[in-house]
Structures are given as C-alpha cells and as structure tokens.
Structure 1
Amino acid sequence: MLKKPKQAPQKVKSKALFATAAIYQPSIHWLAIFVPISFAVAFIPIIRNEVGLFFTSCLGLIVVAYWIGEATDQLAERVGTIWGGMLNAAFSNLPELIFGLIAVAKGLGPLAKAAWTGAIISNMLVVVGAAILVGGYRYGTVTFPLERAKDAAAGLMIAATAILMPSIYAHAVDFSSEKISANDVITDVSVWLCVFLLMAYGGSLVYALAKSRVVGVFERSPLEQTPALEAKLPWSVNFCVGVLAVSSVLIAMLSNFVADCVDSITAGLGWTEIFVGAIIIGIIGNVGALMSAVLVAVRNKMDLSFEIGMNAASQIALLVIPTLIISSNVVGKPVDFLFSPPQIAALVGSVMIVAQISQDGRCNWLNGLQMLIFFGVIGVLFYFDPT
C-alpha cells in the first residue's frame, strides 16, 4: 500500500508565511529603530541635534521600557505568584530608577524630582485610569477587591504625606532668624524620612509574603517548567534575562542622552523642566505598566490592573525615591524632599481622586475618563509653570 506523502514542508511554509506577515503588523517593537538612530545622532557630529536626540531617545525609551515589562511578566508567569510579585517589584520601576540615578549624578535635582512626581501620578491616573476606561467601556461597571484597594490607597496617602511634609514645613517656617539654613534642615529630615519609607516598603513585602503563605497561593515552584507553559510563553528564561540585561544598559545610555538634552528642550521649545520630567519622562517610564494594565482590563481582570498601577506608584514612593535620595547624598549631590507647590497639589489631588474612586470597590468608564482628564489638567499646569 502506498504511503501518503508527508505534509511537513507545507506546514513549515505556512508557519514561515505567518511569521513574515506578523512582522509587518503594527507593533510597538517598530520603535526599536529609534535606538540606533539615537546613538547615531549622539555620536556622529555632522548630524548631532539636541532636540532631535531628545525625541529619538524618548521614543527608544518607550520600546525598551516595554521590553523590560514583557520580560518581567514572562519570568513572573514561570516562577509563580510570590516570586513573580517580587520580580515585578524589582524591575517594574527600573526605568525611573536608572533615569533618576543619572539625573542625580549630573546634578539635575529638580529634573529628578519632577520625574518622581510624574512617575507617581501617571501610575495612579494614567495606568489605572486607562485600565478603568477600557474595562468599564467593555464590561460596564467593573469591580476590584475593596480590602486591597483600601490598603493600597492608605499606603499611598501615608507615603505622599511623608514626602510632602518637608515641603510644607519649609514653606511654613521662617528660617531667617535661625543659625541653620532651611536646606540643611530639609536635607537631614529627608534622609531620616527615607529610612522610614524603606522600612515601610520592607514591611509591605513581609506582609504580602506572609499573607500569600496563609492563603496558600503557591502556583508552582521557581524551578518547575511544564511543556504547556513553555508553549504558551514565547520567550525562554535565558532570553528574558538577556533582555533585562541589555535593556538596562540601553535605558542607562538613552536616559543619559535625554538628561543632556533637557536644557536645549527648555530653551528651544519653551517646555518647562517640570513638564519634561513629570509628564514626558513620567509617562515613558510607565509604558510597560500601562500596556499590561490595559491588556488585563480587556480580559475583565480589573483587580490586577488596579494592583499594577497602585503597586508601581507605591514602589516609587517607598523604594525608588528613598533609594535615589540616599544615593544623592552618597555621591555628594544631595537631593531632598522639597517640592514646589504645583507638585504638592498634583500629588495630593491624585491621591484624593484615587482614594475616592476606590472607596467602594466599583468603578466605570467615566471614572477612568475623569482620571485621565485630571492628568491632562496637571500637564497643562506644569507646561505653563513659571518656576
């Protein structure tokens, strides 16, 4: 009896055609072209342009931040809930941390503080707001665990209050008759507050791990791999680690380009430093969290979207900012918790809106739209800020 010819070549050909077609579909990965363009503009004198370098570097940062988020998500899927949460805590705010370190090292304290402000408010308003808008538009009223929402909102209120207290103190107290300057007092107070904020972050990690053990949330051991899981996730563990390593180097170099071009942007385009740091850099650093939150909101997992945004904002306030302030004192270019009145108003307003929306564990697309509109209001005020 004659055997039927094998169809393997046809299958291989079909897969190749599918992969080729996928390449030409619109994707955020297309922005990767701006990474080599940024290096060319930075190092080839004949085409160097500060304004052009700023925009190409920002576009390159967007895709690199997305790669970090994607690699972290895929590693988290393999190692389980607890270890996955720790990975997300370590890498989700890596762009903000690296940019902050570079800005502090260059003596750009106001730019670094503006970026911190933007990272917190964009996580609360843009990441959570966009997820609520998309999820609410698709499913109507969406819900999330009320207890977790209250814990997250309370933690952010405490962190925001601790961050803003030195600013309020500096604006309210008259140091003209004192022997010590206001800057010295605020610097010392900021260092002590960093210690307490880091303690609060450590306590939140211990609480999360203890609670996970109580409820028995262990999906798999860190070393467990299954064929079904490997088929579902296209990136291997080694590839994810490689992406994180390469992306960290790229973010450091691109962030350095952006920091060097800030003066040209403020002088040439009339953008204020606080607008560049809080709005432009703040949004770029949260691209990965934004896309992750929106994607899970489309799957009607609003609780996960809420946690992505709120946890990222908490990590900025409790981990990234204290780390950067302590680092600035180590390198001899101290940065403190002295924020301008517009930054204070933006932080307080954002925390109040998130606390109000999350008080009953229910929200709809209008709430998401309101959060995005408020972020737009902040952006306009920062754009015209004269300080």
Structure 2
Amino acid sequence: MKSLLNEIRRTPVLWMLIFVPAVLVAETVAPHSHTLLFVLSVLAIVPLAALLSHATEAVAAKTGDAVGGLLNATLGNLTELIIAITALRAGQYMLVKASIAGAIVTNALFMLGACLLLGGLRYHVQEYNRAGARLYSGLLLMATVALLAPSAVADLDLVQGEAVMRRLSVGLAILLIIAYALGLLFSLKTHKELFASAEHGEGEEHWPIGLAVGTLLVVTVLVALVSEIFVESVQKAAETFGMSPAFVGFIIVSLVGAAAEFAVASSAARKDRLDMSVSIALGSASQIALFVAPALVLLSYVVGPSPMSLQFWPGAVTMVMIATVTASFITSSGRSAWFVGALLIFIYAVFALTLYVVPPTGQGTG
C-alpha cells in the first residue's frame, strides 16, 4: 500500500483520483445532471487508466517476456474495452464503432506524432527499431482491409444484406483474432530477437505482485462503474456541447482511454527511447484493430440488444486507412525529427475538425 501511496504522491495525473468518488456521489445526488456527470466521468477515467497501466506493467514484469507481453496486449486497452462493452450493452453502436476507429487513428497519428514531436524537440534526430514498426503497420493494414470488406455488401437487399453482413463480420472477426495471436507468437516467441531494441534495462522499480493484482481488480471495477455513468450521460451531454456521438467516441473516448499509454510513450520519447514510443503507439492501434474490434463483434451476440457488424461509416474507414498508410510511411525509415510529429498531429486535427463540423448520419449504427 505504501508503494501505491508513493506513486500517487509523485504522479500529478493520479491526483485526479479525487474525481472518482466525486462522480459516484454526483450520480447518486444528481442523476439527471448529464453534463456534469459526463465531465466528471471523463476526468475520473484518466487517472484510473493510469493506475491500470502501472498495475499491468508491474504484473508483466513478474511474469516473464511472453506472458508479460500477452498481459500488456490484452490489458493495455482495457479502459477502451470496458467503455465499449458498456456502450454495447446500451445499444449505442455508433459510439462503439466511433471509439474503435478513433482509438486506431488516435494512437497511429496523435500519440505517435506527439512522441516524435516531443522527442524531436530535445534531440535533433532520433532513431528507432524498424522491425516493430513494420510488423504493427502490416497488421494495421490487414485490419483496415478487413474493415473495407463490409462496404462491398452494404448496398445489398435489406434483409439479405443484413444477414450477409452479420456472417461476414463474424468471419472477419475470427480472422483478425487469429492474425492477432500469430502476431504475438511472431514478436514474443519465434522472432523476438528482432524486437530486442525495444527493451532498455534501466532497473525500474515495480510494485509488489500482490499490490499490482489487487489494484488491477479494484481499478477494473471502478472503471466499469464510471464507464456506466459515462455512457448513460454521453448522449445528452454531447448535445449540450454540440458534439455528435461519433465525435465523442472518435475523439473524446479515444483520447481519455489512451491517456495512460500516452504518458508512458511521451516520457520514453523524451528519454530518447523512441523505439518504445513507436511500439506503444502502433502496438496499441493494432491491438484495437485486431483484438478489441473483433471481440466486440462477437460479444455483441451475448451482451448487445442485437448483433453488431464491422460495417463502419465510409469516413471512418477512410480515416483509418489514411492513418495506417501514413504511420507505415513515416516509420519506414527508422529515423525522425520534430516536424514529422507535427505533420501527424495536423492530420489528426483535420480529421477531428471534419468530424465535428460534418458528423456522420445513419451508417455505422448496427
């Protein structure tokens, strides 16, 4: 417990944990104050995601490379997954799909760009391992092709098209999860030496395993509770702020969910450990595309009011494709400077502005 208190004391973002009891109390006292609940839940999720990240790192450090890598892969995006499952149960499929597409684009453009920018402001030129970037870019490209496939049957007869879309989505979901598992096998087992440069032995201290597991369990429950409040309040709060559910999912949810990973990645970039930053940014994007998205499609048959397909609105697929191709192109050289990061952030800003001014209508809701 002392380790946890010390971590909270020296990490400013964890001071925001005060918003966790605040949002739970506000939900009891003023359940119809949707705007207040929305703001408080967003502020509460950020430190919870940071705690989740610390606990995951501590557990992974005690379990060895293979199991640790698997834990990071499955728990690294747990915040986004819990929010998405909560929205899935509520039938808010536009919010779910927007958060999936947004998480991919946010990690591949904003997080990667911010890391390249912050690192480049301190170091004239930075280098990093291209092997990991090539693997994640290839996985992302394959996942984007899978997202494009449902568009081919989108114009079929309504009854037949809906049945075909569900079968196609389930098939694609299974293929993506298999590709995700093979990617883990490749990077953690058969060719792990290619990714060795991502490891920098600095002897960092980690929490005791008991504290880490306990924190993981408690924080997971708290994230689920806060996510429930967030999803219940998001629709009316978004209307108050003039935001569509697509914008909230694509920008707000993805930025909040990636807060903890962004803190780690940006810190690594400032320490000239850009290979770690690139691995976190593109690795997280590929996890969303290859594991979280297909898992949600399969879970929709169990927890959703109706099955969810992998058919996204055309703009989302276009943005994911552009983000994937851009990230692949940018990271192919293994070298970077600050202006490259600035360009990636500007592309992300163009997407955010477009989505805010011209929200999607109709498509991507089922």
Q: TM-score, normalised by structure 1?
A: 0.85
1:291 to 263, 281, 288: 263
2:164 corresponds to which residue? 185
1:292-334 deviations in whole A, cap 9, x for unaligned? 1111111111111101111111111111111110010233521
Pair 1:373 & 2:346 matched: yes
- Within 5 Å, give how 1:212-231 maps onto structure 2: none
1:251 corresponds to which residue? 223
Secondary structure of the 1:381 match is helix
State whether residues 38 and 57 of structure 1, in contact with CA within 8 Å, keep that contact through their aligned partners in structure 2. Answer: yes
Amino acid in the other structure paired with 2:177: L
1:224 corresponds to which residue? none
1:118 to 99, 102, 119: 102
Secondary structure of the 1:181 match is helix
Instruction: Give the drift of 1:372.
Output: 1.1
1:313 to 257, 260, 285: 285
Q: Which moved more, 1:142-151 or 1:122-131?
A: 142-151
Amino acid in the other structure paired with 2:188: L
Amino acid in the other structure paired with 1:175: D
**Would the alpha carbon gap of residues 213 and 307 (structure 1) be closer, same or farther in structure 2, given more than 3 Å must change?**
closer
Instruction: Give the drift of 1:167.
Output: 2.5
State whether residues 71 and 244 of structure 1, in contact with CA within 8 Å, keep that contact through their aligned partners in structure 2. Answer: yes
Secondary structure of the 1:337 match is coil
State whether residues 14 and 47 of structure 2, in contact with CA within 8 Å, keep that contact through their aligned partners in structure 1. Answer: yes
Instruction: Give the drift of 1:182.
Output: 2.1
Distance 2:152 2:257 in 1: 28
1:211 to 185, 190, 196: 190
Distance 1:138 1:301 in 2: 12
Distance 2:151 2:43 in 1: 33
Instruction: Give the drift of 1:75.
Output: 2.7
1:384 to 350, 357, 362: 357
Amino acid in the other structure paired with 2:328: A
Distance 2:309 2:11 in 1: 43
Pair 1:54 & 2:38 matched: yes
State whether residues 265 and 276 of structure 2, in contact with CA within 8 Å, keep that contact through their aligned partners in structure 1. Answer: yes
**Would the alpha carbon gap of residues 252 and 346 (structure 1) be closer, same or farther in structure 2, given more than 3 Å must change?**
same
Pair 1:44 & 2:29 matched: yes
2:15 corresponds to which residue? 30
Instruction: Give the drift of 1:270.
Output: 1.6
- Within 5 Å, give how 1:118-157 maps onto structure 2: 118-157=102-141
2:298 corresponds to which residue? 326
State whether residues 125 and 336 of structure 2, in contact with CA within 8 Å, keep that contact through their aligned partners in structure 1. Answer: yes
Distance 1:184 1:262 in 2: 30
Runs of 5+ unmatched residues, structure 2: 197-201, 362-366
Instruction: Give the drift of 1:234.
Output: 5.5
State whether residues 126 and 371 of structure 1, in contact with CA within 8 Å, keep that contact through their aligned partners in structure 2. Answer: yes
**Would the alpha carbon gap of residues 367 and 194 (structure 1) be closer, same or farther in structure 2, given more than 3 Å must change?**
same
1:15 corresponds to which residue? none
State whether residues 153 and 161 of structure 2, in contact with CA within 8 Å, keep that contact through their aligned partners in structure 1. Answer: no
1:206-227 deviations in whole A, cap 9, x for unaligned? 212323566897xxxxxxxxxx
Runs of 5+ unmatched residues, structure 1: 1-18, 218-227
Amino acid in the other structure paired with 2:253: I
1:96 corresponds to which residue? 80
Q: TM-score, normalised by structure 2?
A: 0.89
2:178 corresponds to which residue? 199
State whether residues 272 and 384 of structure 1, in contact with CA within 8 Å, keep that contact through their aligned partners in structure 2. Answer: no
State whether residues 124 and 309 of structure 1, in contact with CA within 8 Å, keep that contact through their aligned partners in structure 2. Answer: yes
**Would the alpha carbon gap of residues 385 and 100 (structure 1) be closer, same or farther in structure 2, given more than 3 Å must change?**
same
Secondary structure of the 1:339 match is coil
Distance 1:329 1:88 in 2: 26
2:65 corresponds to which residue? 81
1:339 to 292, 301, 312: 312
Amino acid in the other structure paired with 2:28: F
State whether residues 73 and 88 of structure 1, in contact with CA within 8 Å, keep that contact through their aligned partners in structure 2. Answer: yes
1:352 to 325, 348, 357: 325
Amino acid in the other structure paired with 1:81: D
1:27-83 deviations in whole A, cap 9, x for unaligned? 1112111111101110114x7511000000000001100111111223333334333
Q: Which has the larger radius of gyration?
A: 1
Q: Which moved more, 1:142-151 or 1:254-263?
A: 142-151
- Equivalent residue pairs, number: 349
Q: State the identity %.
A: 30
1:72-129 deviations in whole A, cap 9, x for unaligned? 2233333343332122112101011111111111111111001101111111112211
Pair 1:105 & 2:89 matched: yes
Distance 1:245 1:333 in 2: 29
**Would the alpha carbon gap of residues 59 and 214 (structure 1) be closer, same or farther in structure 2, given more than 3 Å must change?**
closer
Distance 2:195 2:64 in 1: 12
1:123-175 deviations in whole A, cap 9, x for unaligned? 111221111111111112211222322222111101111022213441xx453
**Would the alpha carbon gap of residues 213 and 341 (structure 1) be closer, same or farther in structure 2, given more than 3 Å must change?**
closer
Q: Which moved more, 1:286-295 or 1:143-152?
A: 143-152
State whether residues 167 and 337 of structure 1, in contact with CA within 8 Å, keep that contact through their aligned partners in structure 2. Answer: no
State whether residues 35 and 236 of structure 2, in contact with CA within 8 Å, keep that contact through their aligned partners in structure 1. Answer: yes
1:158 to 142, 161, 169: 142
